[in-house]
Amino acid sequence: MDILVTGGTGYIGSHTCVELLQAGHKVIIVDNLSNSRADVVDKLRTITGLTPVFYKADVENRAALREIFAAHRPEAVIHFAGLKAVGESCRLPLKYYRCNLDATLSLLEVMEEFGCKRLVFSSSATVYGPDNPVPYTESMPARVATNPYGWTKIMIEQILRDHTAADPAFSAVLLRYFNPIGAHTSGLLGDDPNGIPNNLMPYISRVAAGKLPHLTVFGDDYPTPDGTGLRDYLHVVDLAKGHLKALEYAAQHTGAEAFNLGTGRGVSVLELVHTFEKVNGVPVPYVIGPRRDGDLACCWANAEKAARLLGWTAEMTLEDMCRDSWNFVKNA
Ligand code: NAD
Ligand code: UD1
């Protein structure tokens, strides 16, 4: 199948492109490189022996998208492109609403023009907001976010529900990711944020590499077994594979359907730190600091719907995640 992948040179997009290429799909990447590098395309070729088509273009740019659709007539789209930094979204909300909403609207309009009816969208566990109890199930209300980034995900989910209601032939799969970490086993692809990382695993890796002096654990007074926050970490390669299952689902169903992609298990900050140290044989010095504004104590998935309807379950262990994250940082 010819599949257009927006944001395909990014962290999750690049791992998904590996799986798509290895499964025999033709991959057309559209990315403006605002948070990734063009050499990812070479790395995809090195890993798979196959070459995706790459366009450096903004998904907000309808004229550019039209040319790409006219040249390739993709049967389905996986839409990763968007801005994702929670803190930045609070400082620059208009930038986030403009980018994430405009990109999606332009994409849907051009898909409509070319009769492309299948979309897999990168949503987030953040749509469950602060009020639902864990574990989160897809039937819970997902209507309150705590930051502009989260609001863009809620709004885009709604846009997709409205669009599929108006076009009964359209299929939108909303994948609500929990916390992807890890990297491709080749060590060529991984999460490589610019500047000081906000997220836990990239921060741990840089501390282990001696590039940052220590990790600050944001709070040890949560109502959890060791007092630190619990999250549902999943390996990015497992997550990537979920997109292939979502494409299969979209080929057989219409309408908008949400799925959690997580392991169903909560892991504490300290459990992740200690697993990383043990698996990789490197120390990760840390200090306990205050809670971070906006953080929840607990966030993990009920992952049964994806298992039942997509035939997808996360298979890789926390040890795999820690080993592969470190392997990527060591090679960088
Ligand atoms: P990423 O920043 O590594 O990848 C996003 C890619 O999109 C980048 O390569 C960037 O250059 C590109 N991009 C951004 N805006 C664009 C635009 N207007 N036009 C073209 N390209 C554009 O992020 P990621 O971690 O791979 O996340 C992918 C998607 O998954 C995002 O939508 C993100 O919100 C969502 N998500 C990520 C996480 C996570 O923990 N990483 C969790 C939940 C949801
Ligand atoms: C954050 C975002 C979420 C986004 C996700 C992936 C918030 C409130 N949520 O989730 O919307 O989908 O990133 O991009 O920002 N921690 C530390 N020290 C650190 C960093 C993190 O103790 O230096 C802790 C956090 O308090 C949390 C856990 O590690 O308990 C995971 O944090 P992080 O990786 O930032 O992910 P989330 O906060 O779950």
Ligand number with the minimum distance to the CA of 58: 1
Task: Tell me the per-residue pLDDT of 220-263, one tens digit each, with 9 for 90 and over.
Answer: 999 999 999 999 999 999 999 999 999 999 999 999 999 999 99
Q: Whose CA is nearest to atom 35 of ligand 2?
A: 199
Taking a C-beta distance cutoff of 8 angstroms, is the pair 160, 172 a contact?
A: yes
Task: Tell me the per-residue pLDDT of 117-144, one tens digit each, with 9 for 90 and over.
Answer: 999 999 999 999 999 999 999 999 999 9
Q: Provide the pLDDT for residue 89.
A: 96
Q: Whose CA is nearest to atom 29 of ligand 2?
A: 200
Q: What is the percentage of the chain residues whose pLDDT exceeds 90? A: 98
Q: Provide the pLDDT for residue 324.
A: 98
Could you say which of 96, 149, 177, 222 is catalytic?
149
Model confidence at 28, in pLDDT bands (50, 70, 90)?
Answer: very high
Spacing, Cα 12 to ligand 1 middle (Å): 7
Predicted confidence (pLDDT) at residue 87 exceeds the cutoff of 80:
yes
Is 149 one of the annotated active-site residues of the chain? Answer: yes
Q: Provide the pLDDT for residue 193.
A: 84
3-state secondary structure 168-188: CCCEEEEEEECEEECCCCCCC
Dihedral sign for Cα atoms in the order 313, 317, 318, 322: negative
Q: Provide the pLDDT for residue 168.
A: 96
Q: Whose CA is nearest to atom 30 of ligand 2?
A: 229
Q: Provide the pLDDT for residue 92.
A: 98
The secondary structure of the chain in percent helix, strand, coil, rounded to multiples of 5, reads: 45, 20, 40
Model confidence at 330, in pLDDT bands (50, 70, 90)?
Answer: confident
Across the chain, which distance is largest between two alpha carbons, in Å?
56
Give the separation between CA 133 and CA 29, rounded to whole angstroms.
37
Give the separation between CA 245 and CA 274, rounded to whole angstroms.
33
Spacing, Cα 283 to ligand 1 middle (Å): 30
**Number of C-beta neighbours around residue 319 at 10 A:** 13
* Pairing between β-strand 179-181 and β-strand 76-79 as defined by DSSP bridges: unpaired
Predicted confidence (pLDDT) at residue 17 exceeds the cutoff of 90:
yes
Beta strands in the chain (DSSP E): 2-6, 26-31, 53-56, 76-79, 118-124, 171-177, 179-181, 215-218, 230-231, 233-235, 255-261, 267-268, 286-289, 298-299
When the pLDDT of each residue in the chain is averaged and rounded to a whole number, the result is 97
Predicted confidence (pLDDT) at residue 331 exceeds the cutoff of 80:
no
Spacing, Cα 200 to ligand 2 middle (Å): 6
Give the separation between CA 46 and CA 128, rounded to whole angstroms.
38
Predicted confidence (pLDDT) at residue 166 exceeds the cutoff of 80:
yes
3-state secondary structure 93-125: HHHHHHHHHHHHHHHHHHHHHCCCCEEEEEEEH
Taking a C-beta distance cutoff of 8 angstroms, is the pair 232, 267 a contact?
A: yes
For the packed helices 269-280 and 200-208, what is the interaxial angle rounded to 10 degrees?
40
Q: Is the peptide bond before 223 cis (omega within 30 degrees of 0)?
A: no
Residue of 5, 6, 11 best suited for mutating to test ligand 1, as the one with most atoms within 8 Å of CB: 11
Q: Provide the pLDDT for residue 204.
A: 98
Predicted confidence (pLDDT) at residue 332 exceeds the cutoff of 90:
no
Q: Provide the pLDDT for residue 158.
A: 98
Q: Show the ligand 2 pocket: residues with CB < 6 angstroms.
A: 84, 86, 124, 126, 150, 179, 198-200, 203, 215-218, 229, 231, 269, 292, 294-295, 299
Model confidence at 190, in pLDDT bands (50, 70, 90)?
Answer: very high
Predicted confidence (pLDDT) at residue 2 exceeds the cutoff of 80:
yes
Predicted confidence (pLDDT) at residue 214 exceeds the cutoff of 80:
yes
Q: Provide the pLDDT for residue 30.
A: 98
Model confidence at 191, in pLDDT bands (50, 70, 90)?
Answer: very high
Residues 43-47, mean pLDDT to the nearest whole number: 98
Among 6-20, 181-195, 306-320, whose mean pLDDT is lowest? Answer: 181-195
CB burial readout 88-100, b (16+ within 10 A) else e: bbeeeeeebbebb
CA distances from 77 to 22, 81, 288 (A): 17, 11, 43
